[in-house]
Amino acid sequence: MTNSEATTVQDERGFWKDTGKTGITSWIFSTDHKRIGFLYFYTVFSFFLVAVILGILMRIELMAPGRTIMGPQTYNALFTVHGVIMIFLFILPGFQGVFGNLLMPIQIGARDVAFPRLNLLSWWIYITGAATIITSLFTGSGPPDTGWTFYVPFSARTGTNVTLAVFGVFLIGMSAILTGLNFVTTIHRLRAEGMTWGRIPLFVWSVYATAWVQVLATPILGITLLLIIAERVLGAGLFDPGRGGDPLMYQHLFWIYSHPAVYIMILPAMGVISEIIPVFSRKPIFGYGMIAMSSLAIAAAGSLVWGHHMFTSGMSDLAVLVFSFLTFVVAIPSAIKVFNWVSTLYKGSISLEAPMLFALGFILLFSIGGLTGLILGSAATDIHVHDTQFVVGHFHYVIFGGSGFAFFGAMHYWFPKFFGRRYREKLALAAWILLFIGFNVMYFSMMVLGVEGMPRRYYDYLPEFHALNLTSTFGSWILFAGMVIMLVNLFHGLLRGEPVERNPWGGATLEWSIPTPPPTDNFVEEPVVTHGPYDFKGSGIP
């Protein structure tokens, strides 16, 4: 390490030590983007762990046909709550809330986001929404049993506590809109001197594209959710054919938001991967402009493909034609990114440390998710696999194998920066191997089950589906073991890990140029940017 005055964990604790303030209020009322980032991290990640347990319980139930550990109503509540938590409480707010907050301001050379108090308000609205959803599970006549999609007419008729849960999701949407506004403004207004658009790290580009999706698409979700509440509480009849309403209209409204939402989950993940790969290959990213532009292309074109969730619904054949075509068009920018990532490795100097392992895992699993998406985008084949276990396998490959692995990768990549300590590489490798194997055993089996015809949201199944379901459940245990090892390793690193200096991986983006852990104001002196984010030579890194 050439940086001689590198600060280590012993002598300084950076923003953890804040200016004299201590206790819980110095966190939950802090406007420091790093503290808010950690507030998000601890809440979002706890919800993730709860939903993982629910997933494991579902897999145990599906181990054998018939009743194994629970009844059908419980199973239906489990997949609903698992889906709602994973989507609305973990992955949607997760990337922007945690890594967007922790890193985006530092990477553009700012001291904080544009509206720090609004940022804190976003977290408070998020946590209020989350508390509302959790309340809905334990009050009224039982947890919601509609699936995370809340399809009418079932969601308008069921006796379970849907109204409250939907209101919670509505609040979380509000929080996302505010975060999006805040981040767009920050990236436009607060870049340091010399931080031109062509020098913005790709992670920031993806945060930027995502923020636009949050601002533009989330209001539609808000309206849709309010309409469900109107339907249930006021008996509005908007979606009730008996009174001239239309159930398909709900599906359109829901997916107009929820398909772009998939990009809120995946774009920042792609940004993380675009940071990790160049650093661990010691080479500039291949095709910077293409990667940045393809993020924007995905964000824009992705808002026009929602109908691919409705090929069997009875919508017109013309609509099927158009949506199938547009769906194939959005596949192109994702493919471009994959090619660019792989090309970055060429003639590099590659080290396979934990963040890189997760990035490579991402590329493979996301590719499988994307390629199986082609089968769903093609009208003929979608008819067969729609609403089957194939879809469940496919979207777990995209959001868990893709976004989830990128989330783990980001945790391992920026862990030393924020905690000033290291985890054990060997244990991280062991955890990664188990996660990777368990993941594929579990979800590949589910995709095969779908091709064989087993529908999704099935509490029970015919005996012919037994062997693969059992295999899938074994896979979930391997995956779970990997997750436990990963968490133990990180936790141990946090307490006892070896201290690190400011730039353990040799990164060229701004966060690696400041002390570890970052001070409250991020930069000791105003940064002036003179080189690109992946210019490892220009930044003086060996």
Task: Give the residues lining the site for ligand HEM (CB under 6 A).
Answer: 52, 55-56, 58-59, 79-80, 82-83, 86-87, 90-91, 147-148, 392, 396, 399-400, 404, 456-458, 476, 479
Tell me the backbone φ, ψ of residue 347, rounded to 5 degrees. 60, 30
Shorter beta-carbon distance to Cu ion: residue 259 or 337: 259
Q: Which residues in 43-62 contact other proteins (CB under 8 A)?
A: none
59 touches, from ligand HEM, other proteins, Cu ion, none (C-beta below 5 to 8 Å by class): ligand HEM
What angle (nearest 5°) sits at the alpha carbon of residue 87, between those of residues 105 and 307? 105
Closest CB 405 distance from ligand HEM, rounded Å:
10
Shorter beta-carbon distance to other proteins: residue 377 or 475: 377
HSE (CB half, 13 Å, CA atoms) of 185? 14
Closest CB 404 distance from ligand HEM, rounded Å:
5
Sort 318 into a burial class: Cβ within 10 Å, 0-12 / 13-18 / 19+. Answer: exposed
Are 520 and 21 in contact by the 8 Å Cβ rule? The answer is no
Sign of the alpha-carbon torsion through 224, 228, 230, 236: positive
Are 188 and 108 in contact by the 8 Å Cβ rule? The answer is no
Are 478 and 378 in contact by the 8 Å Cβ rule? The answer is no
Q: By CB under 8 A, tell whether 471 contacts other proteins.
A: no
Which residue matches tokens 């509609």?
Answer: 146
DSSP assignment letter at 193: B
Are 15 and 7 in contact by the 8 Å Cβ rule? The answer is no
Backbone φ/ψ region at 7: left (φ over 0), alpha (ψ -120 to 50), beta: beta
529 touches, from other proteins, ligand HEM, Cu ion, none (C-beta below 5 to 8 Å by class): none
Q: By CB under 8 A, tell whether 463 contacts other proteins.
A: no
Q: Count residues contacting other proteins (CB under 8 A)?
A: 87
Closest CB 242 distance from ligand HEM, rounded Å:
26
**Binding region for other proteins (CB under 8 A) out of 208-216, 347-355, 400-408, 509-517:** 347-355
DSSP assignment letter at 45: H
Nearest to 493 by CA among 407, 434, 431, 405: 431
Closest CB 259 distance from Cu ion, rounded Å:
3
Shorter beta-carbon distance to ligand HEM: residue 373 or 404: 404
**Binding region for other proteins (CB under 8 A) out of 18-26, 53-61, 215-223, 378-386:** 378-386
Shorter beta-carbon distance to other proteins: residue 377 or 420: 377
Amino acid at 167: F
Q: By CB under 8 A, tell whether 504 contacts other proteins.
A: no
Q: Which residues in 419-438 contact other proteins (CB under 8 A)?
A: none
Shorter beta-carbon distance to ligand HEM: residue 322 or 470: 470
Closest CB 395 distance from other proteins, rounded Å:
15
Shorter beta-carbon distance to ligand HEM: residue 54 or 541: 54
Q: Report CA dihedral (346, 352, 354, 358) to the nearest 10 degrees.
A: 40
Q: Which of 91, 285, 441, 442 binds other proteins (CB under 8 A)?
A: 285
Nearest residue by C-beta to ligand HEM?
55
What size, in residues, is the chain?
542
d(CA 343, CA 348): 10
Shorter beta-carbon distance to other proteins: residue 41 or 362: 362
396 touches, from ligand HEM, Cu ion, other proteins, none (C-beta below 5 to 8 Å by class): ligand HEM
Nearest to 527 by CA among 199, 205, 55: 199
Q: Build a one-symbol-per-residue string for 118-147: x at contacts with other proteins by CB under 8 A, - elsewhere.
A: ---------------------------xxx
What angle (nearest 5°) sits at the alpha carbon of residue 402, between those of residues 282 and 205? 60
Q: Which of 12, 18, 425, 460 binds other proteins (CB under 8 A)?
A: 460
Q: Which two tokens stand for residue 342?
A: 């792989």
Shorter beta-carbon distance to other proteins: residue 174 or 227: 227
Closest CB 66 distance from Cu ion, rounded Å:
18
Residues near Cu ion (CB under 5 A) are 259
Q: Which two tokens stand for residue 91?
A: 């992955």
Are 176 and 258 in contact by the 8 Å Cβ rule? The answer is no
Kindly report whether the peptide bond that precedes residue 153 is cis, defined as omega within 30 degrees of 0.
Answer: yes
Closest CB 22 distance from other proteins, rounded Å:
43
Shorter beta-carbon distance to ligand HEM: residue 345 or 430: 430
208-247 per-residue burial string, b: 16 or more CB within 10 A, e: under 16: bbbbbbbbbbbebbbebbebbbebbeeebebbbeeeebeb
Shorter beta-carbon distance to Cu ion: residue 191 or 259: 259
Q: By CB under 8 A, tell whether 196 contacts other proteins.
A: no
Nearest to 409 by CA among 484, 486, 355: 355
Q: By CB under 8 A, tell whether 20 contacts other proteins.
A: no
**Binding region for other proteins (CB under 8 A) out of 182-190, 204-212, 226-234, 323-331:** 323-331
Q: Which residues in 299-318 contact other proteins (CB under 8 A)?
A: 311-314, 317
Kindly report whether the peptide bond that precedes residue 517 is cis, defined as omega within 30 degrees of 0.
Answer: yes
Q: Which two tokens stand for residue 405?
A: 């692995």
**Binding region for other proteins (CB under 8 A) out of 203-211, 268-276, 335-343, 483-491:** 335-343
Greatest alpha-carbon pair distance for the chain in Å reads 75
Q: By CB under 8 A, tell whether 229 contacts other proteins.
A: no
Tally of CB atoms within 10 A around 288: 21
228 touches, from other proteins, Cu ion, ligand HEM, none (C-beta below 5 to 8 Å by class): none
